[in-house]
């Protein structure tokens, strides 16, 4: 009685006289989505079973067990659903297969577990029509057996079975996957911006003209960006420990992975802890003030909000963004570009909208307000960041991680404080020089912002060089 091979391995443990042929078994369906797709299983010549990945199995074919994921069936007899055998396609050769003449339930369950362990990313209960299906399983299993199968060959057979133009299935799946990933990444929220904008306009009936447009636009932007961020983190929080650092930084990756293992899906609460999120909190306070108090918000609140928005915009693009990997560990390249658009929206658009209101008389900066942004930063540090750090041991920002020296962390905090003070100074200067002469002159503001950002960037580079040396 032969024993099953360990780890679901197709490689030989001893020399064989003849390699075995490996086939793709393809099936047709007649109901619902089965009409549009072709089921595939992988079969090694001489094995009593073929292997595939599906939503479920029938207990009468899997020894009384119901498996959700990797399943086995008698050759040419995949019975779950409405499938009927169509054709067998030879794709290569293997030294030995998965089969065993021992058909006890325990033996086959052990073989199934060894295949799951060997492939790694096909767990039970995770079948997905677009992202993790029988086609992906056959490609992965063939690759594990060191059989080169050209990517897209199953899709081409699906085209052939339905008399479609070659490439139709691959293009349709690519479009569906991208659309689904964009939805999971929060892509529905930018589409809803204009309906939300119209709804927000009803909150400010007493504000007319440009001011009413500005306030409703900013309120809609805050809602869209918050919901966008939350949906992305909710669906992709399991990737978060790989988005902060490139895979080569094993020690950082390990620390982030340990954090995820400790707090799990609660990591989505990180979207309330970052300094960027405190800027959204200030925007919400500024927007709700006239609704709840029926008076314009105080100028001090606007000056703090503007300074913090300036800080999170410039500090993100100068200090944080350069340390992040490009398109690594994102759901797909298309989604990476979409998320880059989200970064631009989160760290730029609100500052532009706030700048449009700089010249309003109610928002006049007072030089005595210069300490308020620093006071807000200290409140965030003491009331939000520190409790999170103590509870979860999460530094949030790589520059504040435990492996950084005290001087490196101090320089980072000093840089952020300097950016905030510069933001207040830019707002004050813009009001004093520009608003009194030519009104809302965006080019002047953008030039001032660019010059300030460039100056801070080179100053920071010099500081970092001195610390390293």
Q: Three-state secondary structure along the chain?
A: CCCCCHHHCCCCCCCCCCCEEEEEEEEECCCHHHHCCCEEEEEECCCCCEEEEECCCCCCCCCCCCCCEEEEECCCCCCCCCCEEEEEEEEEEECCCCCCCCCCHHHHHHHHHHHHHHHCCCCCCCCECCCECHHHHHHHHHHHCCCCCCCCHHHHHHHHHCCCCCCHHHHHHHHHHHHHHHHHCCCHHHHCHHHHHHHHHCCCCCCCHHHHHHHHHHHHHHHHHHHHHHHHHHHHHHHHHHHCCCCCCHHHHHHHHHHHHHHHHHHHHHHHCCHHHHHHHHHHHHHHHHHHHCCCCCHHHHHHHHHHHHHHHHHHHHHHHHHCCCCCCCCCHHHHHHHHHHHHHHHHHHHHHHHCCCCCHHHCCCHHHHHHHHHHHHHHHHHHHHHHHHHHCCCCCHHHCCCCCHHHHHHHHHHHHHHHHHHHHHHHHHHHHHHCCCCCCHHHHHHHHHHHHHHHHHHHHHHHHHHHC
| pLDDT at residue 316 in the model | 82
| pLDDT at residue 283 in the model | 92
pLDDT surpasses 80 at 464: no
Chain mean pLDDT for the chain: 76
| pLDDT at residue 328 in the model | 46
| pLDDT at residue 253 in the model | 47
Give the separation between CA 230 and CA 232, rounded to whole angstroms: 6
| Domain stop point among 101, 128, 149 | 149
pLDDT surpasses 80 at 144: yes
> Does a structural domain hold residue 466?
no
Return the higher-pLDDT residue of 263 and 387.
Answer: 387
| pLDDT at residue 58 in the model | 78
Which range among 184-193, 292-301, 344-353 shows the weakest confidence by mean pLDDT? 184-193
Q: Are residues 49 and 91 in the same domain?
A: yes
Of these ranges, 101-110, 128-137, 173-182, the one predicted with the greatest mean pLDDT is 128-137
pLDDT surpasses 50 at 246: no
> Does a structural domain hold residue 172?
no
pLDDT surpasses 50 at 303: yes
**What's the predicted TM-score (pTM) here?**
0.67
How large is the average pLDDT for residues 97-122?
80
Instruction: Tell me how far the alpha carbon of residue 45 is from its chain's centroid.
Output: 42
How large is the average pLDDT for residues 282-303?
87
> Does a structural domain hold residue 258?
no
Taking the alpha carbons at both ends of the chain, their separation in whole angstroms is: 68
How large is the average pLDDT for residues 96-120?
79
Task: List the structure tokens of 29.
Answer: 């369906």
Residue environment code for 322-339, b if the CB has 16+ CB neighbours within 10 A, otherwise e: eeebeeebbbeebbbebb
Measure Cα distances from 164 to 76, 116, 157, 159, 167 in Å: 25, 34, 10, 5, 8
Of these ranges, 68-82, 88-102, 158-172, the one predicted with the greatest mean pLDDT is 158-172
41 pairs with which residues across the strands?
25
pLDDT surpasses 50 at 210: yes
| Domain stop point among 365, 388, 419 | 365
- pLDDT above 70 covers a percentage of the chain that reads 74
> Does a structural domain hold residue 99?
yes
pLDDT surpasses 90 at 185: no
| pLDDT at residue 137 in the model | 93
pLDDT surpasses 90 at 232: no
pLDDT surpasses 50 at 273: yes
How large is the average pLDDT for residues 176-187?
78
Return the higher-pLDDT residue of 355 and 447.
Answer: 355
| pLDDT at residue 213 in the model | 77
Task: List the structure tokens of 356.
Answer: 């449009």
pLDDT surpasses 80 at 305: yes
| pLDDT at residue 209 in the model | 60
pLDDT surpasses 70 at 323: no
pLDDT surpasses 60 at 39: yes
Q: Where does residue 17 rank: exposed (0-12), middle (13-18), buried (19+ CB within 10 A)?
A: exposed
Are 121 and 139 in contact, with CB atoms under 8 Å apart?
Answer: no
How many structural domains are present in the chain? 3
Q: Are residues 334 and 423 in the same domain?
A: no
Give the separation between CA 26 and CA 38, rounded to whole angstroms: 6
Nearby residues of 213 by Cβ (< 8 Å), 6 or more positions away: none
Closest CA to 271 of 178, 390, 420, 394: 394
Q: Are residues 29 and 117 in the same domain?
A: yes
How large is the average pLDDT for residues 34-48?
85
| Residue-range definition of the domain harbouring residue 238 | 186-242+263-365
Q: How many CA atoms lie within 13 A of 74 on its CB side?
A: 7
> Does a structural domain hold residue 469?
no
Count of beta carbons in the 10 Å neighbourhood of residue 284: 15
Instruction: Tell me how far the alpha carbon of residue 186 is from its chain's centroid.
Output: 9
Give the separation between CA 204 and CA 211, rounded to whole angstroms: 9
Q: Are residues 273 and 349 in the same domain?
A: yes
Q: Are residues 419 and 332 in the same domain?
A: no
| pLDDT at residue 255 in the model | 54
| Domain stop point among 103, 123, 149 | 149
How large is the average pLDDT for residues 3-24?
59
Return the higher-pLDDT residue of 421 and 79.
Answer: 421
> Does a structural domain hold residue 70?
yes
pLDDT surpasses 80 at 359: no
pLDDT surpasses 50 at 439: no
Q: Are residues 299 and 190 in the same domain?
A: yes
Q: How confident is the model at residue 313 (pLDDT cuts 50, 70, 90)?
A: confident
Q: How confident is the model at residue 265 (pLDDT cuts 50, 70, 90)?
A: low
| pLDDT at residue 451 in the model | 61
| pLDDT at residue 285 in the model | 92
How large is the average pLDDT for residues 361-385?
84
pLDDT surpasses 80 at 27: yes
Q: State the sign of the Cα–Cα–Cα–Cα dihedral 345, 351, 352, 354.
A: positive
Q: How confident is the model at residue 443 (pLDDT cuts 50, 70, 90)?
A: low
Q: Are residues 111 and 217 in the same domain?
A: no
Give the separation between CA 456 and CA 442, rounded to whole angstroms: 21
Give the separation between CA 177 and CA 164, rounded to whole angstroms: 20
| pLDDT at residue 3 in the model | 42
Q: Are residues 192 and 316 in the same domain?
A: yes
Q: Are residues 200 and 314 in the same domain?
A: yes
> Does a structural domain hold residue 370?
no
Q: Are residues 69 and 215 in the same domain?
A: no
Q: Are residues 49 and 116 in the same domain?
A: yes
Which range among 85-89, 95-99, 157-161 shows the weakest confidence by mean pLDDT? 95-99
Give the separation between CA 308 and CA 285, rounded to whole angstroms: 13
Of these ranges, 110-114, 209-213, 253-257, 277-281, the one predicted with the greatest mean pLDDT is 277-281
Q: How confident is the model at residue 460 (pLDDT cuts 50, 70, 90)?
A: low
Count of beta carbons in the 10 Å neighbourhood of residue 188: 14
Q: How confident is the model at residue 41 (pLDDT cuts 50, 70, 90)?
A: very high
> Does a structural domain hold residue 465?
no
Q: Are residues 135 and 205 in the same domain?
A: no
Give the separation between CA 348 and CA 342, rounded to whole angstroms: 10
72 pairs with which residues across the strands?
51
Measure Cα distances from 228 to 183, 334, 338, 362 in Å: 10, 16, 11, 31
């Amino acid at each position: 009685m032969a024993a099953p091979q360990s780890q679901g391995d197709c490689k030989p443990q001893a020399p064989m006289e003849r390699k075995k042929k490996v086939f793709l078994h393809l099936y047709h369906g007649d109901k619902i989505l089965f009409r549009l797709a072709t089921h595939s299983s992988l079969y090694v010549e001489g094995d009593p079973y073929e292997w595939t990945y599906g939503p479920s199995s029938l207990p009468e074919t899997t020894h009384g067990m119901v498996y959700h994921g990797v399943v086995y069936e008698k050759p040419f007899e995949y019975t779950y659903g409405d499938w009927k055998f169509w054709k067998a396609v030879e794709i290569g050769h293997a030294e030995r297969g998965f089969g065993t003449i021992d058909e006890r339930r325990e033996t086959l369950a052990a073989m199934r577990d060894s295949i799951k362990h060997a492939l790694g990313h096909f767990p039970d209960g995770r079948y997905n029509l677009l992202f993790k299906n029988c086609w992906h399983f056959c490609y992965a299993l063939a690759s594990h057996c060191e059989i080169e199968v050209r990517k897209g060959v199953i899709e081409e057979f699906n085209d052939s079975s339905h008399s479609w133009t070659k490439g139709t299935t691959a293009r349709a799946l690519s479009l569906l996957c991208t659309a689904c990933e964009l939805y999971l990444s929060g892509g529905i929220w930018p589409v809803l911006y204009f309906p939300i904008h119209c709804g927000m306009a009803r909150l400010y009936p007493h504000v007319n003209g440009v001011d009413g447009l500005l306030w409703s636009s900013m309120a809609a932007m805050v809602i869209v960006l918050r919901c966008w961020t939350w949906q992305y983190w909710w669906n992709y929080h399991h990737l978060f420990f790989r988005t902060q650092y490139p895979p080569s930084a094993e020690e950082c990756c390990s620390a982030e992975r340990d954090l995820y293992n400790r707090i799990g899906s609660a990591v989505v609460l990180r979207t309330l802890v970052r300094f960027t999120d405190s800027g959204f909190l200030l925007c919400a306070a500024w927007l709700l003030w006239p609704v709840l108090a029926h008076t314009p918000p105080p100028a001090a609140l606007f000056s703090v909000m503007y300074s913090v928005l300036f800080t999170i915009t410039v500090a993100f693009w100068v200090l944080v963004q350069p340390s992040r990997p490009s398109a690594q560990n994102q759901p797909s390249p298309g989604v990476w570009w979409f998320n880059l658009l989200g970064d631009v929206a989160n760290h730029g658009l609100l500052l532009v909208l706030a700048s449009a209101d700089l010249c309003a008389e109610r928002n006049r900066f007072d030089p005595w307000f210069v300490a308020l942004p620093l006071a807000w930063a200290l409140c965030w540090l003491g009331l939000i960041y520190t409790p999170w750090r103590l509870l979860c041991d999460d530094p949030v920002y790589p520059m504040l991680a435990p492996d950084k020296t005290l001087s490196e962390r101090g320089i980072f905090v000093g840089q952020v404080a300097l950016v905030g003070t510069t933001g207040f100074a830019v707002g004050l200067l813009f009001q004093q020089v520009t608003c009194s002469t030519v009104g809302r002159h965006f080019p002047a503001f953008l030039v001032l912002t660019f010059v300030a950002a460039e100056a801070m960037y080179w100053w920071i580079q010099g500081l970092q060089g001195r610390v390293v040396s």
